[in-house]
Amino acid sequence: MAGIVGMGALLCLALWVYLTAPRIRRKWPDGILSCAFAHRGLHGGGIPENSLAAFELAAQKGYGIELDVRLTRDGCLAVHHDPTLKRTCGLDRAISGMRLEEIKACFLGSSGETVPTFQEALACVRGRTPLIVELKTAGKRNAELARKTYDALCSYGGKWVVESFDPRLLRWFRKNAPQAIRGQLAYDPRLGGPPGKGVGYWFLANLLMNCLSRPDFIAYCHETDRNLSFRMVRKLFHPVMVAWTVQSAEQYRRLQGRYDIQIFEGFEP
């Protein structure tokens, strides 16, 4: 009986290793791992998030930029975090159901800025600083979103990596652009961060979707990084770790040495 139990434990461990193992990349482009990344650009004080003004300011100050990409109804790439324009523009409509010209007619708060296209964001940054490009899930159109984002990045001269909560998007890069550095976003809703329920969130929190994405880095909500699976992956595989979202200088200092990259917001490191 003891032998059977032991064999079962070994099989469970082997399955866990298979499910959680990242792809270990030893060589990253120069400058990315030493850069602090401004969450949705350097915004605040009248400069809206994910705006060209926020990207320009971050680039001028030498910070990397984290930004979000969504697919519009007519197949364009819009840089926007939320699925709808309600919080940023006061219009409760989903970006996925709007044409680009409709989105461009809306202003980000009272700034006079509009939602930029991904191509506009790339043209604004002009390779001056590294980018972390987060792809927002597009469901049945995931392949279209991943392909169009990758095509835009291939013609861009700067340094970049991609990340997503959706391992299916990262799997597209794994199969079609294996040279691209990709990161799995995750957090544990039981320990904090945005609310989340269901089996899918549990799998993500415990990094059990890594078997689909085989990420080069793990981008984790630093306030929820206390679950056992996360700590074991970190200790066993030593992947590149990205902390989101760091909200103060004190947090930034505390996380140095624990994370390789930090994505910050609301202050400047």
Locate the domains of the chain by residue range: 27-264
In the chain, which residues have pLDDT < 70? 1-6, 8
Give the closest residue to 241 by CA, choosing from 264, 216, 265. 216
Return the half-sphere exposure (C-beta side, CA atoms, 13 A cut-off) of residue 60.
Answer: 8
Size of the chain in residues: 269
Q: How far is CA 240 from CA 27, 147, 217, 258, in A?
A: 11, 25, 5, 10
What is the chain's percent helix, strand, coil content, to nearest 5?
40, 20, 40
Q: What is the pLDDT of residue 198?
A: 86
CATH of 27-264, one of 3.40.50.720, 1.20.120.1200, 3.20.20.190, 3.40.30.10: 3.20.20.190
Q: What is the pLDDT of residue 3?
A: 66
Cα distance between residue 53 and residue 264, in whole Å = 17
Contact 131, 161 (CB under 8 A): yes
Q: What is the pLDDT of residue 73?
A: 98
* Exposure b/e, 92-103, CB count within 10 A at least 16 = b: eeebbebebebb
The CB density around residue 206, as the number of other CB atoms within 10 Å, is 20
Q: What is the pLDDT of residue 197?
A: 81
Q: What is the pLDDT of residue 6?
A: 64
Average pLDDT for the chain:
95
Cα distance between residue 24 and residue 94, in whole Å = 37
Q: What is the pLDDT of residue 1?
A: 62
3-state secondary structure of 55: helix
Q: What is the pLDDT of residue 196?
A: 84
* Exposure b/e, 9-47, CB count within 10 A at least 16 = b: eeeeeeebeebbbbbeeeebeeebeebbbbbbbbbeeeb
Rg (CA), the chain: 19
Cα distance between residue 124 and residue 128, in whole Å = 9
